[in-house]
Amino acid sequence: MITSWDVIGLVYWLGIAYQAPRVLKRWSLITSCDPIQLCDACRDERREVIHEADQYEVWGVFGAALMVVLGAARSCYKPFIRASRRAFGKESLPTCSKGSCLAYTGGKAAA
């Protein structure tokens, strides 16, 4: 018998499976660019991703997969984090400037 928690869990894990390729693409873009050519928000995200990768490196391949799953799970909570920061009167977290940032445009770094 399928319960409501089974359906919620299925939807949650399908959402994570849907977000995982997007997270990998984003991380690939921000880690392959020169930090000087990134906006402040993407530079902070790059530093966080690299620091987190160093922590999960001990676990080998399982650590990399776990990092992707946790990153995809976190992306589901971003709208709630923004709303809660706004509700408590805190400043919003920085977002990508999108205009000149190579991580947004996906352009190749200048040689």
Separation between Cα atoms, residue 93 and residue 37, nearest integer Å = 20
Domain ranges across the chain: 36-87
Separation between Cα atoms, residue 81 and residue 64, nearest integer Å = 24
Separation between Cα atoms, residue 19 and residue 104, nearest integer Å = 17
Over the chain, what is the mean pLDDT?
84
pLDDT digits (tens, 9 = 90+) for 49-92: 999 989 988 888 898 888 988 888 888 788 888 889 889 998 88
Separation between Cα atoms, residue 39 and residue 43, nearest integer Å = 6
Q: How much is the pTM? A: 0.72
SS3 106: coil
Radius of gyration of the chain (CA): 16
